[in-house]
Amino acid sequence: MTLQELVQQAASLYLDKIAVCFDECNNQPPVYYTYKTVINAASELSDFLLLHCDFEGIREIGLYCQPGINLPSWILGILQVPAAYAPIDPDSPPSLSTHFMKKCNLKYILVEKKQINVSLCV
C-alpha cells in the first residue's frame, strides 16, 4: 500500500479529525488541518499538475519550500499524480540547489509562494 493510499484510508475513517499540526515556534498557537483539508488540497494540486504538465516520460517534480502546514498536502498531491518529489531546500546555497535540479533533470518545480522572490539561477 502506498503512502497516499494509507492517508486516503485514514481520511475515510477520520475525515474531520486532525491530520496535521504545525508550530512555527513564533509565539503563535499551532495550526491544525483535518484529513479533509489535507486531502482536498492534495487533490487540487494533483488535478492542477495533471492539467498543466506534460508527464510523458517525466515523473519527478521539484518541491522548493520551507517546512509548513501545507507540506503534507503538497507531497501527497505530487504522489497522487503519480510522481516522485525532489525536495529542494530554500536555505541551501543557490549553487547547490541549481546543481541538484540539473542533476535530477527536473522539468517541473513547485515553488512555495513566499519563496518566489528568492534569487535562484538555474
pLDDT, one tens digit per residue, over 99-121 is 999 999 999 999 998 888 765 55
pLDDT score for 115: 85
pLDDT score for 117: 73
Cβ-Cβ contacts under 8 Å for 72 (sequence gap 6 or more): 19, 20, 33, 38
CATH of domain 3-115: 3.40.50.980
pLDDT, one tens digit per residue, over 58-106 is 789 999 999 999 999 999 999 999 999 999 999 999 899 999 999 999 9
